[in-house]
């Protein structure tokens, strides 16, 4: 018999398969205090939570029999995934269960925005019969720009087409063929800004998407554009949105998510042209039943058939395998993050992975998944993990190839990763040096020796005297401290690269100044999110 503890307000109907299963005993305690939860958790094999229960390292220390933590929803911010991974506890979620709920809420917000329904309701309910102040607009024949064509963005597009809307879709992984099948037009952000009457966002919140709808974006939009955000707070710069509405350029917005929650900014909450709801995207009876059904079914599969579908981490490896692969897992994730930035943040259509040296004798399946996750995580954020990464690659139409080679590359171990998108490509080679740790030893055709750091400045330039001094002097003028500098070149006097490690990020102004240096071809800041420790989803 397996014992399952359910905390928080989770649908009992959705848990029916667990209650009915002869091998499971289910206890529901929606409002357990932290101390009592810690005292009880030791006797349970599985824990199901929503967002209220905090699954901390301390709680996990007391969970001596726990094998699975299930989040009845998408986000796992309330779970210490890294601590769970260390203890070999699988963390699962229900990533697709709220798709329809979030889609329908987006359409509801768009209609309410177009017809000013909340404002009209409030005035009518107060006793005023005012038909002149709430003249709206139709969706028919209007252009809808969808930023993010994942599951929810795709479902929004299908439904918006039934309103007779013209759809522009932006997504790094949206192919021409998929856009054609959906009956939409593949577009860049600039085209969406220029042509859209309505814009809705459906991307994860990443460094690349944070504030993607900002002052510069609004400056390119039509006057009278309307925006909807039922995805993640922070994708739309709220201050920029208020400025654009106050200037009369943006007609209005409908927000279900906010940069800080609970939302408290009066400029947002009390603006007559902004409709707000308290993060209700997944708050339907059906969605809450579906998330409970999904995690219940997966808990049964994990215990009965050892089948895992939606884990956000991996069980702990044996000590021997862990000792061998640990440094490569961290390095592999870093390589993936770096190479997608070197590809100018485009989504790749093909990925090649080559292993050399000692690595050809190891089981590199987990390492391969780690490399691939590093690449996809740039655009897909925490929606990609080591379990679903191969499925997401297939879903996005990205092919990958893995080869193990006996050729000598000059290192005891060596990994090489390359990505291709049309005529563009990028390549990174890396190794783990005994006593020195991880090193990036090749970028494209150039040999270098760089320790992965949080902030790396990548510069491509002509190999001419004085270039290093000019770069160092300019960074000094901006109070940028250089940790290390490595230079690589293919031939004397030709093109070369510089890679500098920095103590902090540099801004767009510094990058612009660098490109004004004569002979400097390109300057790009590369950022890593996992320098000190493995992120959630990896074995430590």
Confidence of residue 425 (pLDDT cuts 50, 70, 90): very high
pLDDT tens-digit map of 363-404? 788 899 999 999 998 888 767 877 778 878 988 889 999 999
pLDDT tens-digit map of 43-59? 999 999 988 899 999 99
% of the chain beyond a pLDDT of 90: 76
Residues near 456 by Cβ (< 8 Å), separated by ≥ 6? 338, 450, 499, 500, 501, 502, 525, 526, 527, 528
Q: Is 279 designated active site?
A: yes
pLDDT confidence of residue 281: 92
Q: Which of 279, 373, 427, 439 is catalytic?
A: 279
Q: Is 259 designated active site?
A: no
350 HSE (CA, 13 A, CB side): 8
Q: Which tokens is 462 given?
A: 């002509």
Burial of 415 (0-12, 13-18, 19+ CB in 10 A): buried
Q: Which of 232, 354, 373, 461 is catalytic?
A: 232
pLDDT confidence of residue 326: 78
Contact 14, 291 (CB under 8 A): yes
Q: Which of 128, 138, 261, 395 is catalytic?
A: 261
pLDDT tens-digit map of 9-27? 899 999 999 999 999 999 9
66 or 307, which is more confident: 66
| Nearest CA-CA partner of 519 in 470, 446, 479, 454 | 470
Write down the mean pLDDT value for the chain. 91
Residues near 291 by Cβ (< 8 Å), separated by ≥ 6? 11, 14, 72, 73, 94, 97, 98, 282
pLDDT at 538 over 60: no
pLDDT confidence of residue 159: 98
Is the pTM for the entire model greater than 0.95?
Answer: no
Q: Is 261 designated active site?
A: yes
What number is the average pLDDT over the span 452-476? 95
């Amino acid at each position: 018999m397996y014992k399952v503890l359910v905390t928080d307000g989770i649908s009992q109907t959705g848990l029916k398969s667990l209650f009915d299963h002869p091998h499971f005993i289910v206890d529901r305690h929606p409002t357990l205090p932290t101390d009592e939860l810690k005292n009880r958790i030791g006797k349970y094999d599985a824990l199901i939570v929503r967002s209220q229960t905090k699954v901390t390292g301390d709680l996990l220390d007391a969970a001596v029999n726990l094998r699975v933590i299930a989040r009845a929803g998408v986000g796992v911010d309330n779970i210490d995934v890294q601590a769970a991974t260390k203890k070999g506890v699988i963390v699962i979620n229900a990533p697709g269960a709220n798709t329809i709920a979030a889609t329908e809420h987006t359409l509801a917000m768009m209609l309410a925005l177009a017809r000013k329904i909340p404002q009209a309701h409030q005035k009518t309910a107060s006793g005023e019969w005012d038909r002149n102040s709430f003249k709206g607009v139709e969706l028919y024949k209007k252009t809808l720009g969808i930023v993010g064509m994942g599951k929810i963005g795709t479902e929004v597009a299908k439904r918006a087409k039934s309103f007779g809307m013209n759809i522009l879709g932006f997504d790094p992984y949206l192919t021409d063929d998929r856009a054609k099948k959906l009956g939409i037009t593949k577009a860049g952000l600039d085209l969406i800004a220029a042509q859209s009457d309505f814009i809705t966002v459906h991307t994860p919140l990443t460094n690349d998407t944070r504030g993607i709808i900002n002052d510069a974006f609004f400056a390119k939009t039509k006057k009278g554009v309307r925006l909807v955000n039922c995805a993640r707070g922070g994708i739309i710069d709220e201050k920029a949105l208020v400025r654009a509405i106050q200037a009369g350029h943006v007609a209005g917005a409908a927000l279900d998510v906010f940069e800080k929650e609970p939302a408290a900014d009066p400029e947002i909450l009390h603006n007559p042209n902004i409709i707000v709801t308290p993060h209700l995207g997944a708050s339907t009876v059906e969605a809450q039943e579906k998330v409970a059904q999904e995690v219940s079914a997966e808990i049964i599969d994990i215990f009965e058939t050892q089948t895992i579908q939606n884990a956000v981490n991996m069980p702990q490896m044996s000590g021997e395998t862990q000792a061998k692969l640990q440094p490569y897992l961290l390095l592999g994730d870093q390589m993936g993050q770096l190479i997608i930035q070197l590809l100018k943040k485009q989504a790749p259509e093909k990925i090649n992975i080559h292993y050399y040296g000692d690595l050809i004798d190891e089981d590199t399946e987990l390492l391969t998944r780690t490399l691939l996750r590093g690449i996809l995580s740039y655009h897909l954020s925490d929606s990609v993990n080591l379990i679903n990464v191969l499925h997401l690659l297939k879903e996005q139409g990205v092919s990958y190839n893995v080869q193990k080679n006996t050729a000598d590359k000059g290192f005891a171990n060596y990994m090489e990763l390359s990505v291709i998108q049309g005529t563009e490509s990028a390549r990174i080679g890396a190794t783990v040096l005994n006593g020195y740790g991880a090193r990036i030893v090749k970028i494209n055709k150039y040999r270098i020796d760089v320790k992965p750091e949080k902030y790396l400045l990548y510069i491509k330039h002509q190999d001419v005297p004085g270039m290093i001094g000019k770069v160092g002097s300019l960074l000094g003028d901006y109070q940028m401290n250089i940790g290390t500098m490595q230079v690589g070149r293919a031939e004397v006097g030709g093109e070369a690269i510089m890679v500098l490690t920095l103590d902090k990020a540099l801004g767009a102004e510094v990058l612009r100044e660098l490109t004004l240096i004569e002979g400097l071809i390109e300057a790009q800041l590369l950022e890593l999110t996992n320098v000190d420790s493995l992120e959630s989803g990896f074995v430590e």
